[in-house]
DNA sequence: ATAATACGTAACCAAATGGATACGTATTAT
DNA sequence: ATAATACGTATCCATTTGGTTACGTATTAT
């Protein structure tokens, strides 16, 4: 039964490099779809699909403005990622500490 | 030309919930494959494939010990994720700040 | 009223993903 | 020497992913 339980977490959202780039761009402020599409040398529908995924996971919000749709960063959901990664921090800090000790020939 | 440039970043590695669970388990110490496999109700080869991906991205290391292979967490590469997410922190803190102001009826 | 613009969606497709089963190999137990 | 154990890998398969082109619709410009 090949079924991956279709993970709809924000981890999937940021797995794609294009979506990460979109989010990075949106950190500098909201943008309409065309601007994003022209920035990433992909077709506009492709970007639309990425935006749909980000929308459904609440990582961005859409605000219609005339015939444009402004996409805005909604970083709250990204906190899940930060929370997940936090405990690992101790580990690589420990590793760096060990390396430091080693280099200092302690 | 459907080619996603086959992203081999650590973001792909942690996109899968099983792999995240494996990493979470390894935070408590190294483990042989069978222990991991039995923990996740998947076939052992499936876990082996996940471990291969984590190995190739240097998120875990393998240490042969007799006929067992101990897998150990190597969290250094996860730092990329932490570094990427860091700038977003300002955003959701700002959002929380706004919410706080709003609730305090400022 | 008509044309142009700014999107979303549908349909389609190749490649990647994630799983299973079958098999091979090195190491330990008997 | 033989059997059991602990893996990795090969092969296969269904589903998902990420892209395309074609098309429809709402809004603005002429």
Task: Give, in Å, how far the C1' of D29 lies from the CA of B81.
Answer: 46
Domain assignment present for B103: no
CATH number at residue B33: 1.10.10.10
Domain assignment present for B37: yes
Would you state the pLDDT for residue A1?
A: 43
More confident call, B64 vs A7? B64
Domain count, chain A: 1
pLDDT tens-digit series, residues B32-64: 999 999 999 899 999 999 999 999 999 999 999
- Among B43, B2, B4, B40, smallest CA distance to B21 is for B40
Domain span at residue B26 reads: 10-77
Please give the DSSP secondary-structure letter assigned to residue B75.
G
Alpha carbon separation from A101 to A48, A105, B96 (Å, rounded): 50, 6, 39
* Cβ atoms of B23 and B54 closer than 8 Å: yes
Q: To the nearest whole angstrom, how far is the Cα of B104 from the nearest Cα of chain A?
A: 20
Q: What is the mean pLDDT of residues B3-32?
A: 90
* Structural tokens at position A47: 């970007």
Of B17, B23, B95, the CB nearest to A76: B95
Count the neighbouring beta carbons within 10 Å of the beta carbon of residue B102.
Answer: 9
Radius of gyration from C-alpha coordinates of chain A:
19
Average predicted confidence (pLDDT) for chain A: 89
């Amino acid at each position: 039964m090949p079924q991956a339980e279709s993970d709809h977490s924000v981890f999937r959202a940021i797995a794609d490099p294009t979506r990460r780039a979109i989010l990075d761009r949106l950190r500098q402020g909201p943008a309409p779809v065309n601007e994003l599409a022209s920035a990433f040398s992909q077709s506009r529908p492709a970007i639309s699909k990425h935006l749909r995924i980000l929308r459904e996971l609440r990582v961005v919000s859409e605000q219609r403005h005339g015939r444009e749709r402004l996409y805005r960063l909604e970083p709250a959901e990204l906190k899940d990622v930060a929370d997940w990664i936090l405990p690992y921090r101790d580990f690589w800090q420990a590793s760096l500490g060990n390396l430091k000790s080693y280099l200092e020939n302690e």
